[in-house]
């Protein structure tokens, strides 16, 4: 599923209980991250929950960044999956150009996430951007 399909489905849902359930469902579909990658080097600093993000050049297109990520807890895993959906398999330039604030506003997350989750989401975004910058520097 792409982010535009997710947003269309998300907007169709009536209340935030349904929306959180949809985010949780998205998280359950995130490919599992190998436990060997769940290291302090890949851990997102600034998240209250444990979240890991790593990335590398895409195997078939070296211009793209391919991410792997995981989070503890169903909602956190869903939010991680949402960010992976937004940033997955894009060029470093595309990643840098994404207006994440606008994306959060479209989804209503700017109003419905706790302050701690907001901080964690932005910490994940910064880590993804750092990964993209490292991939770009190696090109």
Instruction: Enumerate the active-site residues.
Output: 47
In angstroms, rounded to a whole number, what is the distance separating the alpha carbons of residues 65 and 132? 6
Asked if residues 66 and 59 have their Cβ atoms less than 8 Å apart, the reply is yes
DSSP 68: E
Q: Which of 47, 52, 31, 60 is nearest to 120 (CA)?
A: 47
Distance separating alpha carbons of residues 92 and 65, to the nearest angstrom: 7
Please measure the distance between the N-terminal and C-terminal CA atoms of the chain and give it in whole angstroms.
Answer: 28
Q: Assess contact for 56 and 135: CB atoms under 8 A.
A: yes
What whole-number distance in Å separates Cα of residue 37 and Cα of residue 44? 12
């Amino acid at each position: 599923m792409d982010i535009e399909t997710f947003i269309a489905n998300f907007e169709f849902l009536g209340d935030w209980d349904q929306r959180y359930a949809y985010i949780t469902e998205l998280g359950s579909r995130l490919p599992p991250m190998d436990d060997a990658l769940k290291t302090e080097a890949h851990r997102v600093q600034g998240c209250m929950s444990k979240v890991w993000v790593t990335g590398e050049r895409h195997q078939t297109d070296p211009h793209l960044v391919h991410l792997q990520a995981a989070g503890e807890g169903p909602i956190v895993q869903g939010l991680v999956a949402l960010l992976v959906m937004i940033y997955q398999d894009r060029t470093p330039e595309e990643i840098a150009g994404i207006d994440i604030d606008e994306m959060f506003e479209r989804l209503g997350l700017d109003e419905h996430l706790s302050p701690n989750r907001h901080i964690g989401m932005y910490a994940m975004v910064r880590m993804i951007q750092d990964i993209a910058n490292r991939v770009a520097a190696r090109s």
